[in-house]
Amino acid sequence: MRNKYFVIFTACLGLFLLLPSLPEPASLTSVFRLTEEPAVIVRGTSGSALTVNISFGDVEVERWIREVKKPYPLLFVEMDWAERFPETVRLIQEKNIPVGLLGDNGIAYEQNKPLFTNQLERFEDIFGMKPLWFRTIDEVFPHSLHTLLWEAEVNALGSSVVWRGGDSPPVTEGEILSIPHHRGDHIKFAELNKLYKNRTFTSVEDMLFKTTVKVKKIPE
């Protein structure tokens, strides 16, 4: 009987020592490359996805975020704005709205090499994770930027249509719509109702992960 207990104890001890070395399950929020080589994703093949670029706005942005319902748009958030409005950022996190990193104009990354790394670190400090998506404000992705994105395993996401209000653009399968909300370049959020009346939106992740993505090569 004593030998039996000794064998059980030894087996349990061995299992306990082995557990720390077992690989942890992959996180659902892990970042990964969606393309096989550096490229800008500009559309899927079916459905419609809405993205909103935010670098400006206070009360109206917070009110819209409180009211927006699922399926949520993908928010591209500029870091200076996020640091100015931590309460709105906290609301985004509480509602679990998907967020990407909104950068500067593409040319800025040719002139300032550490810029992307700095923005990436600030995003991780604020949101506690690395972004899956990155977009420059002008959707220009110079060759000097794509290596940094590739190494960081962050996907470059462009858009099919940039909508600044007015008549809704015709529906195109696999489209990624971009709504700018910057100082001097933004619409009233109430205008988004025009798009919602004409489309049934799905998340960027659902649209791209279930279909073939279409890309635009980053020029050298």
Q: Is residue 191 part of a domain?
A: yes
Q: Does the structure show a pLDDT above 90 at 215?
A: no
pLDDT bracket for residue 192 (50, 70, 90): confident
Distance CA 160, CA 178 (A): 8
Distance CA 154, CA 12 (A): 42
Average pLDDT over residues 36-62: 88
pLDDT of residue 92: 98
Distance CA 107, CA 36 (A): 25
Q: Is residue 145 part of a domain?
A: yes
Q: Is residue 56 part of a domain?
A: yes
Q: Is residue 22 part of a domain?
A: no
Percent of the chain scored above 90 by pLDDT?
Answer: 59
Q: Is residue 21 part of a domain?
A: no
213 versus 103: the higher-pLDDT residue is: 103
Q: Does the structure show a pLDDT above 70 at 70?
A: yes
Q: Is residue 55 part of a domain?
A: yes
Percent of the chain scored above 70 by pLDDT?
Answer: 78
Three-class secondary structure of residue 115 per DSSP: helix
List pLDDT tens digits, range 145-175.
988 999 999 999 999 999 999 989 999 999 9
Q: Which residues are paired to 48 by β-bridges?
A: 175, 201
Residue 129, domain extent: 33-217
Which of 15-24, 112-121, 139-148 has the weakest average pLDDT?
A: 15-24
Query: Does the CA dihedral 192-197-203-208 come out positive or negative?
Result: negative
Q: Does the structure show a pLDDT above 70 at 12?
A: no
Q: For 36, what's the count of Cα atoms within 13 Å in the CB-facing half-sphere?
A: 3
Number of domains in the chain: 1
Q: Does the structure show a pLDDT above 80 at 16?
A: no
**What CATH number is given to the structural domain containing 60?**
3.20.20.370
Which of 44-48, 71-75, 91-95 has the weakest average pLDDT?
A: 44-48
User: What's the whole-number average pLDDT of the chain?
Assistant: 82
What is this structure's pTM?
Answer: 0.81
Q: Is residue 119 part of a domain?
A: yes
pLDDT of residue 161: 94
Q: Is residue 15 part of a domain?
A: no
